[in-house]
Structure 1
Amino acid sequence: ALNASGRAGSLMTREEFLHRGQQRIPARGIETVTVPGSLAGWDELLRKYGTITLAEAIAPAIRYAEEGFPVTPIISEGWKAEEAVLSRDSAARATFMPNGHAPAPGEWFRNPDYARTLREIAAGGPQVLYGGSLGQRIVQRSKELGGFLTLEDLKANKPTWVTPISVVFKGYRIWELPPNNQGVAALEMLKILEPYDLKSMGHNSATYLHHLIEAKKLAYADLSRYVGDADHLAMPAEGMLSDGFIAERRAHLDEMHAQARVDPGPALTSSETVYLTAADSTGNMVSFINSLYDAFGSGVVVPGTGFALHNRGYGFTLQPDLPNTVAPGKRPFHTLIPGFITIPGATATIDGRGDTPYMSFGLMGGAMQAQGHAQLLINLLVFGMDIQQAIDAARFRHLDGMRVVVESPIPDSVRAALTSMGHVITEGPRGDFGGSQTIIRLSHGYAGGSDPRKDGMAVGY
């Protein structure tokens, strides 16, 4: 698996934030910008496994940026919600609100600056960003606004090949990326829930939802305490997924009452997103996710480039002595988790050798991702839904404490029962529950599923 997330700049220290009078990392602005890692990741994947060049891969994007495209209703709604953020930066305002407002549904949007930037990358390769002219412009703008990037930070950027982590759930091996992201929380949820007879509880019954919500609280408490840059973990992901640790966590799951506060388990001694997946005729499958974090990221556009810098640095914390405490060269906590399922074979080993590829999947939506993964996989592997049914089924989203948001199909009787257990239930819009894209392998080919909550589609070609 490839982790291409960028690292904190060499000037990005906890002491500097505190010196500036900040008690937490700001949500937007230049101070949230770490090294942009996506371009290096795209190039690495294409060079190692691709059948086309980087220039060929981005050619359609150049055409769309130059010629334009009609803005969809879902994109328009999200765009309009960010008008205040875009208005703070003159280049962002000029780029993304050329008529003084976010594009309406059906309105044609062009971005000639971005087309020029992509052409520059197509001609010069990733080095244009990592030390070249584009990188120099980003660093200059960062200095002007009080950011933390240097040209040396960009030059030093390299994606990292990592070993994915997994658990076996209902006979299937579920794979996620290791920290610095939240994939371990999805696996911890599934492993906590493994012994329960979820099917007999009834899909989206109050009892069923309560168990998932409480398992989520336990997993996310551990996530916030133990997960950050893989080189600075308080406990390895394997420890968080060990049988002993999971048993200790499961013992804290109250089957009758919602818990307002859940502490992390004891340490053992020994994070705006696009997801896509593809499969080919030879059986290769790819699970891929990319994100700016928030919509339009930091809200900062380097004049003339046509794109917003991300705000992934917001994933750090200023609390001292945690794996995710901000420091130069560290990767921040990420919400991004592309997922994969294999079927263990008779000769399979614990690292998945001998397994049969079965499904590639992902779910956009920030902190919704891990809890969304668990819901999607239980729909599929416990309740036997087909892939589109598993995606379409109503979801919950636990926020914090007792607060849980549910989709409109969850009936009032279930909401009332959850309330009696202590949960605080509200209904949320469909866009709050993530968006999944999935490919599943069949004996005679593939089936794809696409989430109606977001723009997307399943296409065979």
Structure 2
Amino acid sequence: MRNFQLPGRSPVRTMEAMAATSHPLSTLAAVEMLRAGGNAMDAAVCAAAVQAVVEPQSTGIGGDCFVLYAPKGEGNVLAFNGSGRSPEAATLEWYVERDFTEIPTHGPHSVTIPGAIDAWCRLIEDHGRKSLDEVLQPAIRYAERGYVIHDRVAFDWNDALGTLTGDEYAARLFLKDGAPLQAGAVHVQPELAATLRTIAARGRAGFYEGAVAEDLVGRLQALGGLHTLDDFASTAGEYVQPVSISYRGHDIYQMPPNNQGLTALLMLNILSEFDLKGLGPCGVERLHLEVEAGRLAYRDRDRYIGDPDQVDMPVDRLLSRDYARALSTAIKRDRPMSDLPDVALPNSDTVYISIVDSERNAVSFINSTFHSFGSGIVGPRSGVVLQNRGSSFRLDQGHPNVIAPRKRPMHTIMPGMAVKDGRAVMPFGVMGGAYQPFGHAHVLTNMLDFGMDPQEALDAPRVFYRDGVIEAESGVAAEVLSGLEALGHAVTGAPEPLGGGQVVVIDWESGTLTGASDPRKDGCALGF
């Protein structure tokens, strides 16, 4: 139980249904959808669509999504990969011949074909109760009539000023007199509202064919992109087999590659070799072990993960107990490992949604445009912000994540699902680009090793290892930072909050739901 004399909030507890998102308007829309007879999938897509309007720096219909779904809470977890592919013309040779040394972070070559709308349509058709038109109405309303900019949204917009000024249509839509809108301002997106109305009426064809696709492809080609209308029209997500491990009596499910989800599972496997319960939950030893396990797991992430349609990956070996046991022996309790490469770990923005309905359908749903405002490119007539997932591709021949035609990049956004005794007990997720595997491991161990409730687990201070340095949030005690430095770590303050997450816990015995939402974002959990 939390200390009620300290800042913080309690988890939300209810019986019927629960929604947790990173924005109050999104959570409210999800709850209203549930009250109107929609199920968890209807509510999740509804919430994601609202966030595509009210958190446009983090997500949008020009991005991708991944979903884990446990129908009626059954342990047979379904996974849907809604990530888009590179253009057909995007060959390694094309970039090498033009002296590219990497795929740019922004601009047309960073754009893969958005997969979110195809995924939303497929998921509503396969698992929803409501029509796509009904599910999109709250988002249309906010785009058309306006919404109030929240504080974390304003914080992110200020950080993204350089990106927004780089595109005339982005600047027109998201800046006023050359400056980002501030918290409390009202923002409208009439072009996006019209696009959402087209999708509501025509389904996926309203995005991947016709005027919207022509607007986006025309803009990309004008900027030098390789995208075609055929690339858009052929976009299709797919159901895939999730990957999982057992940790402290729970089966933890993640998306398979091209997703980085197995990175979190590898971290957990390594950490399972240590008795964390005997350590302080925010002490030097616990954080040191977490950092070292993360360094090993991220090394393998960058070595092996790519698009399984185009490259073979040793997934079974990477997730085996023997492999984790061997890796764990490299960790020294009294000093950092000295022989691991640093891996590229850029910041990014994402939204994560956790929903459970009255039938205990459990949805773990994540949607993103990657970096803040994605590629920085906005459709002139459609108002669509295009993602920059293609910037994750490599230009190294032979690397599993090397760019190639119709290929999906290594993807950072990862929903999670915990199952116990054959039933789903927790859809969960932590946003934050490359931080996400680290965040999944941190929140899960907070709960399963240290007995925190879900809100405490999200509230607890975090660290992340990046570019040879431990970035520590301001909540980490000074003596802990000194202790990490005494072990030989370089330590600095985190330049921004590390991630953000949502959790809903299903207690099958009592028939209750417990929800939590991360204070690092604007959101909340609500239920009834």
TM exceeds 0.5?
yes
Equivalent position amino acid for 2:464 in 1: R
Which of 495, 520, 525 lines up with 1:453 in the alignment?
520
Aligned residues of 1:363 and 1:434 also touching (Cα < 8 A): yes
The one of 501, 511, 523 aligned to 1:436: 501
Deviation at 1:98, TM superposition (A): 4.1
2:470 alignment partner in structure 1: 404
Q: Deviations over 1:366-417 (max 9, x none)?
A: 111000000000000011111111111111111132x011112211211111
Cα gap change, 1:260/1:232 in structure 2, threshold over 3 Å: closer, same or farther? Answer: farther
Task: Select the residue among 415, 427, 436 that pairs with 1:338.
Answer: 415
Residue 278 (structure 1) aligned with residue 358 (structure 2): no
CA distance in 2, matches of 1:220, 1:155: 35
Q: Separation in 2 of the partners of 1:198 and 1:412? A: 21
Q: Given the superposition, is the C-alpha separation of residues 300 and 159 from structure 1 closer, same or farther in structure 2, using an over 3 Å criterion?
A: same
Classify the secondary structure of the residue corresponding to 2:516.
Answer: strand
Q: Does residue 362 of the first structure (1) align with residue 362 of the second (2)?
A: no
1:88 shift after superposition: 1.3
3-state SS in 1 of match to 2:259: coil
Aligned pairs (5 A) from 1:56-205? 56-205=134-283
Which ranges in structure 2 are unaligned for 5 or more consecutive residues? 1-78, 343-347
How many angstroms apart in 1 are the aligned matches of 2:143 and 2:425? Answer: 35
Gaps in structure 1 of 5+ consecutive residues: 265-270, 345-354
Does structure 1 residue 386 correspond to structure 2 residue 453?
A: yes
Contact 1:365 1:432 in 2 (8 A): no
SS of aligned partner of 2:309: helix
CA distance in 2, matches of 1:48, 1:92: 35
> How far apart are the structure 2 equivalents of 1:143 and 1:307?
16
* C-alpha contact 1:227 1:234 (8 A) present in aligned 2: no
Question: SS of 2:93's equivalent?
Answer: helix
Moved over 3 A (4+): none
Percent pairwise identity:
40
Aligned residue in 2 for 1:314: 391
Distance 2:383 2:232 in 1: 19
Q: Which amino acid aligns with 2:123?
A: L
Please give the alpha-carbon distance, in whole angstroms, between the structure 2 residues aligned to 1:293 and 1:307: 14
Pairwise mapping of residues 160-309 of structure 1 onto structure 2 (< 5 A)? 160-262=238-340, 272-309=349-386
Matched, 1:13 2:91: yes
TM-score (norm 2): 0.82
Contact 1:342 1:359 in 2 (8 A): yes
After TM superposition, list the pairs within 5 Å mapping 1:410-421 onto structure 2. 410-421=476-487
- Aligned-partner Cα distance in 1 for 2:447–2:215: 47
Count of matched residue pairs:
443
CA offset at residue 125 of structure 1? 1.3
Contact 2:418 2:427 in 1 (8 A): yes
Alignment correspondent of 1:3: 81
What RMSD, in angstroms, separates the aligned Cα atoms of the two structures? 1.4
Shift of 1:272: 2.3
* Letter of the 1:339 counterpart: G
TM-aligned CA deviation for residue 234 of structure 1? 4.4
Give me the TM-score of the superposition, normalised by structure 1: 0.94
CA contact (8 A) 2:215 2:381 kept: no
Deviations 1:261-314 (A, max 9, x none): 4269xxxxxx72111111011111000000000111000111021121110001
Question: Aligned equivalents of 1:405 and 1:137: distance in 2?
Answer: 41
Instruction: Check whether the contact 2:273–2:328 (CA below 8 A) recurs between aligned residues.
Output: no
Deviations along 1:201-236, one digit per CA (max 9) or x if unpaired, are 221211111111000000000000000112234423
Q: Could you tell me whether the CA contact under 8 Å between 2:330 and 2:337 is conserved in 1? A: no
